[in-house]
Amino acid sequence: MTIQKIDQFISRLESGLTEDDRKQGWTENSRQALLKTFRKIRKEVRQGKYPAVNLARGLDSWGITSGELVELAAEISNELNAQPPKHF
C-alpha cells in the first residue's frame, strides 16, 4: 500500500501545482525538491528498505502546513515508520 501512495504523491506533483497548492505554500522549488525526495524514497522502498522519515516536518520547513499533499505525506511517513528496521 505504501508504494501506491508514494506513486500517487509523485504523480500528483508531476502534474503540476494547482492554485490551492500554491495557497498552501507550495512553490516550484518545493515541488521539484520533493519530487526528487519521493523518487529516492520510492527507490528505497522497492529495494525493501523503509527509511525512517518525518515528511510532514520536512514540508513544514518549506512553509507547507496543510492540504491534500500534506495529509498524503503524513500517511506515507506513518506507514514507513511502522515498518520494522532492516539492517543491510
Per-residue model confidence as pLDDT tens digits over 29-74 = 999 999 999 999 999 999 988 888 888 788 888 899 899 999 999 9
Query: What is the rounded average pLDDT of the residues 17-30?
Result: 94
Q: Give me the residue spans of the domains in the chain.
A: 2-81
Q: pTM of this prediction?
A: 0.87
Please compute the mean of the pLDDT values over residues 4-24 and round it to a whole number: 95
What's the rounded Cα separation, in Å, for the pair 73 and 59? 9
Distance (Å, rounded) from C-alpha 70 to C-alpha 60? 9
